[in-house]
Structure 1
Amino acid sequence: MKTLFLIWESFRSALTALKSNLLRTILSLLGVTVGIFAIIGVFTLVDSLENGIKKSLDFLGGDLIYVEKWPWGVGGEYPWWKYLQRPHPTYEEFRFLEDNLKGASGIAIQAMKDGVTFKKDNNSASGMMLMGISHQYDQMMDLKLEQGRFFTQMEANNGRGVVIIGHDLGQQLFPLGNALGQTVMIKGNACKVIGVLPSEGENLVSFIDKDKTCFVPFNFFRKVYYVGKKNGIGASMVIKGFPEDEGLEKLEGEVVGMMRRLRGQKPVDENNFAVNRPEVIAGAIENIFGVLTLAGAVIGLFSILVGGFGIANIMFVSVKERTNLIGIQKALGAKRFYILFQFLFEAVLLSLAGGAAGLVLVYGLTYAPTGSLELSLSFKNILVGLMVSSIIGLVSGLIPASVAAKMDPVVAIRQ
């Protein structure tokens, strides 16, 4: 109980010392403030950027594999010449896999054409995307509608002229609203609007801008544009596995076996198709941002070390100023740990105050206009900032506090 009381008295003495030299205290903590702002600011920026990119890539799905002509190149040299002569997946291959795959809970085929112009009476929308998709696409890619419905199986199989339009496309063609049931023209074909997507807004990475996309049945898309193995618009298949198939290893093996058999490949032949997985991109993103985080931490470390040296210098000055008082306290029976804790608390409080000020600046940074990038200060980064501040204060105050605790009371009083 007595020990706790002495520790509390040490804390009060440290707080009194900081208050009595307010200007010096404020100037001392500026170095730590800048250091914490640099480190946590970089962490916050990198985390927000990583989360934004991953959120933008959500449309790829987490339990899906993609069968395509081109493998997704991530890092290093991309040997495009190896894949140039490969055939694109076909609708016939899709139907075969749809009928025969045992390890798939769903399968869809998709193809897209950019730069398409849509017309409605005197209104037109240019530079939009037309995307042909099969019936199960909405279940696999979580394609939510604001109004209307998705294609029926019959509409998809027969290639009916029915469309689902994105928010921006709908605004341009139907500025007065009421798009449902209206007719749009796609390369001379009259198509009925059966669904409207909600506004998605800007994304950091946007392979498919749904706001400017029109979705049609895949068989209708094939009527309008040539989709084939060679020299046509390339199609890709999206296949969803079962939750119990961890890592989708069984599904991938089954898909590879069926595709090789369909294309008559020999055992020694290399696959003339690619099986792509979204986690490849996610893993590459984590590696890139891991390097950025490390680089930011190293840069911020130098800033906070300067702050730490500043605190250590101030603590030596404080010890020098209060040498006589330290001698009197020791002469009256003050223990070493009482003197030690008194200066350690002062250094840690000084550093924590600087760290808190740095965190406040980072929090203010999150309100800065950054376009589609949403900055947010996470609880994890707040803890990191406070922990780093505490450690810097502890390390910076340890030597001055030890010097003060070891002073001879007689010598100290004489000074």
Structure 2
Amino acid sequence: MVLFIKLLKESLSFAYDALRQNKTRTFLSLLGITIGIVTIISVFAMVDTFRGKLQESVDKLGSKTIFVQKWPWGGFGEYPWWKYMQRPEANLDEANLLKERLDDVDGISFELNIANKTLKYQSNSIDGANVIAVSHDAYKTWTFDFSEGRYFTETESKSGSALAVIGASIANGLFPNQQAIGKTIKLMGRNVIVIGVLEKEGEDMLGMSFDNHVVLPLNFARNLIDIRSDRYSPQITVRGKENLNIDQLEDELRGTMRSIRKLKPSQEDDFALNKSTILSEQLDQMFIIINIAGWIIGGFSILVGGFGIANIMFVSVKERTNIIGIQKSLGARNYFILMQFLFESIALSLLGGIIGLLFVFSITQISTHLFDFKVVLNAGNIIRGISISVIIGVISGFWPAYTASRLNPVDAIRSK
């Protein structure tokens, strides 16, 4: 331990001398390490940030939720859209049959998207509201958090009462500085009473938010639209019980849907079962590519910096050859000389890495406070940056250190 402290102290001292005596050369060498660390850690920090935000969006869909739809999620690689065009849309009858035949589910709902409608209340109006019509069990398949009011009762859903649950942005636009509950809004020429306001969620990375939504009972929507029309992107949402594996639910749901649509064993599915893991897997593939790009771009900078540090160390060995000879003549072992120069190389590389990490930290603070976009520099990325710096220091400094450790003491002393 004493030897380690002595080595570290002398190495830091020599590293400081190298910085002080060769400022320009050292700066240019450390610049490569710094740029490389900034590039790699910035990419990882951004990827971790986007991954976290996107995963939050995906998690809103629910880990136990499957969507029966016409189109599969994706679009990457081979995507035979012409084949999917021939598929029938999900319909209300199928949703009712699934409710009768599936046992291991918490809820099954049928939903229609009546997009871009105008809402009015007295002199206030909102354009582009996203109106959705849902069967009663939507509160079981989606998580509705209310800031005020409530969801539809089963009686209200079945009777098709002219009621609505609205998002926070809709409430703020139509009813600024006043309570929304009990107010009557005009939608598609009909009067609708607001009975609930959802908590504000904010726009997420996938654009999934109920802030600009109006939720109507499906049976009321019959008075506004043809609920059997394919133009409203119908879907069936199925949420499985917590103790049921999502793959088991998918298998059971696929078998039941095939039975409902009377598909022969040789026929392909004419429906898509979409789930959050599909998006997660696609996001993982995208982030892997981004990570590789970050390693490649940052790797070139680190490589240049590594050669620079190796050059500094060779010059340092040459300038201190006489001192090495004296140390050896006084009994210094080869490993002591080797470790002395190796520690010096690591110290120089680590300095460049720390500067890079401080620069990345500054970027995260600027992004958070000036642009209101929080970028996270977590402990894992800090450890990664320090580890890369140490490894580059070891690789860059090993051969100069080994060369110094093998010098003959007599020749080294005479070299000056």
TM-score, normalising length from structure 1?
A: 0.93
Note the alpha carbon deviations across 1:17-73, whole angstroms, 9 max, x for none.
Answer: 122343436614222111111111111122222222222233322111111122223
How does 1:120-131 map onto structure 2 within 5 Å? Answer: 120-131=121-132
Note if 1:18 corresponds to 2:19: no
1:409 aligns with 2:409: yes
CA drift of 1:293 comes to: 0.6
Matched, 1:241 2:244: no
Distance 2:153 2:372 in 1: 35
Instruction: Give the structure 2 partner of residue 46 of structure 1.
Output: 47
Provide the rounded CA distance (Å) in 1 between the counterparts of 2:114 and 2:309. Answer: 62
Q: Deviations along 1:150-187, whole A, 9 cap, x unmatched?
A: 11111122221111111111111112221111111111
Deviates more, 1:217-226 or 1:115-124: 217-226
Are 1:304 and 2:302 matched, yes or no? yes
Is the 1:227–1:234 contact (alpha carbons within 8 Å) kept by the matching residues of 2? no
2:100 aligned with 1:99, yes or no?
yes
Q: Find the residue that maps to 2:116 and give its secondary structure.
A: strand
- The correspondence of residues 315-330 of structure 1 with structure 2, limited to 5 A, is 315-330=313-328
Identity of aligned residues (%): 40
Report the residue type matching 1:19 in the other structure.
Y
1:87 maps to 88
Aligned counterparts of 1:328 and 1:54: Cα–Cα separation in 2: 61
Q: Deviations over 1:324-348 (max 9, x none)?
A: 1111111111111111111111111
Q: 1:388 to 1:334 in 2, by over 3 A?
A: same
Q: Hey, what does 2:77 align to over in structure 1?
A: 76
In structure 2, the residue matched to 1:171 is: 172
Q: What SS does the aligned partner of 2:136 have? A: coil
- Could you tell me whether the CA contact under 8 Å between 2:109 and 2:137 is conserved in 1? yes
Superposition RMSD in Å:
1.9
Gaps of 5+ in 1: none
Per-residue deviation, 1:373: 5.0
Q: Aligned partners of 1:394 and 1:266: how far apart in 2? A: 65
Count of matched residue positions in the alignment of Structure 1 and Structure 2:
409
**Offset at residue 238 of structure 1 (A):** 0.9
Distance 2:128 2:37 in 1: 46
1:350, CA displacement in angstroms?
1.1
How many Å separate the matches in 2 of 1:118 and 1:205? 25
| Contact preservation (8 Å) 2:59, 2:276 | no
Matching of residues 127-146 of structure 1 within 5 Å: 127-146=128-147
SS of residue paired to 1:65:
strand
Partner of 1:386: 386
Describe how 1:317-356 pairs up with structure 2 within 5 A: 317-356=315-354
Amino acid at match of 1:349: A
1:372, distance to aligned residue in structure 2 (A): 7.4
Asked if residue 5 in structure 1 is aligned to residue 6 in structure 2, the reply is no
Task: Please list, as runs of the form range in 1=range in 2, the aligned pairs for 1:100-119 lying within 5 A after superposition.
Answer: 100-119=101-120
Contact 1:355–1:386 (CA<8 Å) still a contact in 2?
yes
Give the CA deviation at 1:98.
1.4
Question: What amino acid does structure 2 have at the position aligned with 1:220?
Answer: F
Counterpart Cα distance in 2 of 1:141 and 1:364: 39
2:297 maps to amino acid: I
The range that moved more, 98-107 or 366-375, is 366-375
Change in Cα spacing, 1:287 to 1:372, as seen in structure 2 (3 Å) is farther
Distance (whole Å) between structure 2 residues aligned to residue 199 and residue 74 of structure 1: 31
CA contact (8 A) 1:204 1:373 kept: no
In structure 2, distance between residues paired with 1:6 and 1:267: 75
Task: Give 5+ residue unaligned stretches, structure 2.
Answer: none
Q: Which residue of 2 aligns with 1:217?
A: 217
